[in-house]
Structure 1
Amino acid sequence: MMEQAVCHLNIVGFKAAVAAKKDGRLKGRPYVIAGSSGGRSLALDCSPEAIRQGVSPGMTLALAHRRIKDLIVLPPDIPAYELMNAGIEKVASRYAPVWENDRAGNLYLDITGTSSLFGPPVDCSCRVLRDILNETGISPAAAVACNKLVSKVATRAIRPVGLIQIQAGTEADFLKHQDVRLLPGMGRSLLKTAEVTGIREIGEIAALSQAEALSLFGKSGILLRNMALGIDLSPVENLRGNRGIAQSADFNEDIIDEEKIMAAMEVLSERGGLKMRNGKLGMMSMRLTVIYSDGLEAHGFEKTKRLLVTDSEIMQAACNLYKKTAVRRIRIKSVKLGFEDLMPLGYQPDLFEPETETKNRRLQEAVDRIQNRFGEGKVTRGRSLINSK
């Protein structure tokens, strides 16, 4: 059986790196990318100089400005990110039949079986790095391993630049003494558990029994233990085009009661929002289809001015779009709500996009934890219960 080879490219501070490439005057200066300049907004990405001075992704701008008085705040530049991703994918397509790009600075190339064309996996990765630097001006860190997980931990270990190869069969040895914070999926709550129990290295999780892993980390325990052992069966998947999430509601009988329709829209917003946030994504576009009792359809589409993440802002946008779209005063058979132009949040999964107040963000995190643990609908808004009566 052919040995799998995965190359992971890690562009540290992707949004900040693109900004510096676009504007050379930013070189060596402290700056962050944020959705607005308000003090409660969060830094999405930071320049190396800002990080050296104590600012990090997910930090409020108010705190960041206290640490760096002359901090520059830049808005996200989505067209520039798309252009950079297109350039990187152009290089990837030369060397790998399958690649996976999260469009936030992480690209996986499945280079299994390409040795006859481009040499051993590490040589192929060298070519990829060379071409990306020459064609985009960006210099990622790269790692070659037998799976996505190990290659990602490896680039985190050597970033911001460099190339490393983890030989097949040595995955557990490599991971053993790596900082537990490098393990994908270790959010704030899991890191807190690890800190309280004195776990500092990935190998300490690998050494746990299944019962111990479950006891310490709950339902995530077994998965974390397998990851700590370097086990990852997830394939490299092409994710070209806009990823989307769609939810629909079919009414038992055709209705015209706007209160009930709005309740259905809120349920769709909650379900889609939870799925989106679990994928560490936010949304830039919303699409709505309304099917009337006579079979005719109405379609609405809205491009948002910023990334939408929390249920409250998604619901507001969905209700506004419905009012613009459903202008006929006849009964409705069903509604379908779609989230499009999904973008990675670009920082820890338990932190949310700017414009969301800290209090609302924490409330959303708590609701998501309950939904993920006990199932959808265990916590919902009162109006959403109307259709269940």
Structure 2
Amino acid sequence: MSDSENILLPPWEGPAILLVDLDAFFASVEQLDHPAWRGKPVIVGGDADARGVVSTCSYEARAFGVRSAMASALARQLCPEAIWTRGHFHRYREVSAAIMAILRDETPHVQQVSIDEAFMDVSPTAVNTEHPVAIARRIQDRVAALGVTCSIGVGVSKSVAKIASDRDKPRGLTVVYPGTEQAFLAPLPVRTMSGVGAAAEKVLKAHGIRTLGDMAAADAALLKRVFGKNGAMMRERALGADRSPVVVDDEVKSVSNEVTFAEDLTDRESIEAALATIAAKVGRRLRRKGLTGRTIAIKVRYDDRSVHSVQRQLATPTDDDLAFTPVLYAMIDDLWEPGMKIRLLGVAVTHFETEENSQESLFDASLFDESKAEEAAPLIEDDTKRRRLIENLDALRDRFGDDTVRFGFELRNQGNTTGSSSKNVEDYK
């Protein structure tokens, strides 16, 4: 950006927050790596014949009505000519890491919230006098040089920057200058604001509150009924007045893995086999990160799409899935009984030994019940033999791949997954 262009920018005083959102990220990386796919509809997601969902799709596919989280079967109906891929997540992590390095080169104040999204604090100071918009434009150019694009929202707060980043895509730059927050936010639907879900939207609309301007002027008692203790905070967000900081936090809060099944699990043997397979992946991730956790959790989504979770504390922190898998077997009694159908299973480990304070799991804490399962014996009771087996398995998988060695129970649900994936940030640190 030239000096003359910089001079023409209106002055910026006070906080300046950027939200950098990578455009159709997974699909963009696929088009980058497959030049023949550029300009064509590309869908990254699970099998349309196995209840998969769309992880993301290119803008060419979006023109047909395809959207993230849509059922793959519906996406195929809307865009039958699309190019499909289950994705190459090691490649997405690689490109994401390169982009996050660019952001941290611009400022140390970066908060990555997912593989394709990060907040940045670029507030002007006596030392940093560069205009926030100039920084945003340079970031877009540097990211584009890698072969993908990003859209950026610029505002005085994280909530304003987040909403602004969604206003113009792809490669959009939406700037909300200090003092214009209320004019920008007021006409927008309440659902635009993070934290306003479908249930809250329904109650607000029933009271005539349809826009963020309406919400900013709403009765405090009503907002408290709708949002609980966060009522005042949501009003501040609607006014563009919240000042939640950009938190630089490289600590992993939890390590988890979850699987959606093409056919519902209906018997205990299949459920235990799935738990063991998922737990093995979590244990391997823990060992790679050098972490041991004291809390384990199970998340279940049933065939009616309702979700429930349980967690329990272990006697000592561990990264040993062969030790905590039998505990998961016992915990499942709090979530399942014969006749129930399970669509998704997840396992998480948190409360790491190195943490001074308790950290929340990736699973929604409001769904947790404390499990009352009794202590269960490890799959192999001899600690030395068990540890030696784990080390040998890890070494083989490091060298030849995760599927090199598999237990018999892992074969029970082989092929019974949708191939869909999430974008949890902890998997990319």
On whether the aligned pair clears a TM of 0.5, the verdict is yes
Q: Which runs of 5+ in 1 are unaligned?
A: 247-265, 270-281, 289-298, 303-308, 316-320, 336-356, 363-370
| Aligned amino acid, residue 283 of structure 2 | R
List per-residue Cα deviations over 1:264-289 (Å, max 9, x = no partner).
xx9xx9xxxxxxxxxxxx9994139x
Q: Find the residue that maps to 1:232 and give its secondary structure.
A: coil
Check whether the contact 1:97–1:111 (CA below 8 A) recurs between aligned residues: no
Q: Distance in 2 between matches of 1:203 and 1:40?
A: 40
Corresponding residue to 2:82 among 54, 71, 76: 71
Q: Distance in 1 between matches of 2:280 and 2:241?
A: 34
Q: Distance in 1 between matches of 2:54 and 2:62?
A: 11
Say how many residue pairs are matched. 295
Q: Find the residue that maps to 2:119 and give its secondary structure.
A: strand
Q: 2:283 matched to 1:287?
A: yes
Q: Let me know the Cα RMSD of the aligned residues.
A: 4.2
Match in the other structure for 1:154: 164
Q: Find the residue that maps to 2:221 and give its secondary structure.
A: helix
How far did 1:178 drift? Answer: 2.2
Give the structure-2-normalised TM-score.
0.58
Check whether the contact 2:300–2:344 (CA below 8 A) recurs between aligned residues: no
Corresponding residue to 1:226 among 236, 261, 264: 236
Cα 1:127–1:361 shift into 2, 3 Å: same
Q: Distance in 1 between matches of 2:373 and 2:78?
A: 49
Q: Find the residue that maps to 1:44 and give its secondary structure.
A: strand
Q: Which runs of 5+ in 2 are unaligned?
A: 1-12, 257-271, 290-296, 302-308, 311-318, 329-339, 346-363, 376-429
Q: 2:322 matched to 1:311?
A: no
Corresponding residue to 2:185 among 169, 175, 179: 175
Q: Find the residue that maps to 1:212 and give its secondary structure.
A: helix
Check whether the contact 1:39–1:60 (CA below 8 A) recurs between aligned residues: no
List per-residue Cα deviations over 1:255-310 (Å, max 9, x = no partner).
xxxxxxxxxxx9xx9xxxxxxxxxxxx9994139xxxxxxxxxx9789xxxxxx97
Q: Distance in 2 between matches of 1:56 and 1:79?
A: 23
Cα 1:40–1:310 shift into 2, 3 Å: farther
Q: Distance in 2 between matches of 1:8 and 1:122?
A: 12
Q: 2:44 matched to 1:33?
A: yes
Q: 2:21 matched to 1:21?
A: no
Q: Find the residue that maps to 2:118 and give its secondary structure.
A: strand
Check whether the contact 2:120–2:246 (CA below 8 A) recurs between aligned residues: yes
Q: Distance in 1 between matches of 2:121 and 2:172?
A: 19
**Pairing 1:1-389 to 2, within 5 Å after superposition:** 3-113=14-124, 116=127, 119-134=130-145, 136-194=146-204, 199-217=209-227, 221-240=231-250, 242-244=252-254, 285-287=281-283, 311-312=299-300, 324-325=322-323, 360=343, 376-377=368-369, 384-387=371-374
Q: Distance in 2 between matches of 1:283 and 1:161?
A: 39
Q: Distance in 2 between matches of 1:126 and 1:83?
A: 23
Which region of structure 1 is more displaced relative to structure 2, 2-11 or 139-148?
Answer: 2-11
List per-residue Cα deviations over 1:85-107 (Å, max 9, x = no partner).
12212211221121112233212
| Aligned amino acid, residue 219 of structure 2 | S
List per-residue Cα deviations over 1:33-80 (Å, max 9, x = no partner).
114443411111121122111111111111112222223321132111
Q: Find the residue that maps to 2:54 and give its secondary structure.
A: coil
Q: Distance in 1 between matches of 2:67 and 2:341?
A: 17
Q: Distance in 2 between matches of 1:54 and 1:219?
A: 37
Percent identity of paired positions between Structure 1 and Structure 2: 23
Q: Distance in 2 between matches of 1:385 and 1:128?
A: 51
| Aligned amino acid, residue 45 of structure 1 | T
| Aligned amino acid, residue 299 of structure 2 | D
Q: Find the residue that maps to 2:120 and give its secondary structure.
A: strand
